[in-house]
Structure formats: structure tokens, C-alpha cells
Structure 1
Amino acid sequence: MKVCYMAYVSGIVQGVGFRYYTQQQAMALGVTGYVCNMDDGRVEVCACGEQQPVETLLAWLKIGPKSARVESVLVEPRAVKDIEGFRIKY
């Protein structure tokens, strides 16, 4: 079953490679979507694909790379979109 979620990651998540590592995780899992920095210091992640890999990515976001300090992750379901690849938006 295909699913799509928006996740908003708070904490020390900008300037620490968070977007790069998120892209690597997503591509390894076959998840499509994007990751971008938000003006308020959070990171926004759109994750679409099969339910299990997407849930695996969402669970990883709660930990993040060693360089980051994740405080919270707000996850909201979205309508399923056909997105190709997983990119970093600037």
C-alpha cells in the first residue's frame, strides 16, 4: 500500500548534514519525496512510497544522523503523490 507523509523535524537539524543523510536513507529505502530547511529552524520531509519503507524512514527521522539533535518529529498524513526520486530542495 502506498502512503505519503509530511514530517517536521525540530531540534539541532540545520547545518549538520541532516538533509544529506535523510536523502541517503530515503534513497536506500526506495522512498520518494524531498527534504528542505524551513525558515523557523525545522526540517520538512515529504516521504512517499510503500508503507514499510516510509515508516522505517519516519522512525529514522526521530534519531537522525549523529551530528543532529532531534527534539521532536510531527508527522501528518498526506494524499499519495507520484514523486520521482528523493531530492534536497533549496
Structure 2
Amino acid sequence: MIAKRAIFEGRVQGVGFRYAVKQLAMGFDVTGWVKNLPEGTVEMQLMGEEDEVEEFLKEIVEESAMAHNIKNMYSEKIALLENVKGFTISA
């Protein structure tokens, strides 16, 4: 089990990006959340088995309907998330 924090840059706010990511998460065995940040990027924190997490990130960046909106994605391993159930959109 691993957890990652990812930051997405590009045209990722005001285009349904968070909702698309939440829908996509339903097809993967991951938990976590996604939210807009004040500077125009989107932050996601997620947890799951390493292969599921990596496949989910790859799907978002390379194959999703939002892939063309992403200019850059940065990700890093973080401590396992606590008290997280499902995959949600945070305010």
C-alpha cells in the first residue's frame, strides 16, 4: 500500500477536471481526494496498491478525456492517508 500526492498544471480548473478524475477513480481500487488550489492547479492525494495508483495516474495523464488539458503533473510519495473512504472532491 502506498500514498501519493499529485499536482496537475494546465487548464485544469473550470473544465470539469475534478469530476472527471472522480469518475475515473471508480474504475480503480484507490481512495483519496482531489481539490482545486488557489494558484490554478489541482491537487490529488490517493492511496492504494502501488500498481493501482500508478495505473490510475497514467490513465489520467495519458488516456483520460482531460489528458489534453494537463501541461505538467508532479507526484511524490507521502504518508498513508488516514480516515479516507472512497474518492471524493474536496472544497
* TM-score in same-fold range (> 0.5): yes
RMSD of equivalent CA atoms: 1.6
Name the TM-score, length of structure 1 as normaliser: 0.89
Give the share of equivalent positions with the same residue, in percent.
35
The answer as to whether partners of 1:4 and 1:79 remain within 8 angstroms in 2 is yes
Unaligned runs of 5+ in 1: none
- Counterpart residue number, 2:80: 80
Figure out how many residues of one structure are paired with residues of the other and give that number: 89
Name the TM-score, length of structure 2 as normaliser: 0.88
CA distance in 1, matches of 2:10, 2:27: 24
Cα 1:68–1:89 shift into 2, 3 Å: farther
Unaligned runs of 5+ in 2: none
CA distances 1:22-64 after superposition (whole Å, capped 9, x unpaired): 0111121021000000000000011101111110111123234
Alignment of 1:8-47 (within 5 A): 8-47=7-46
- Counterpart residue number, 2:50: 51
Paired residue type of 2:71: E
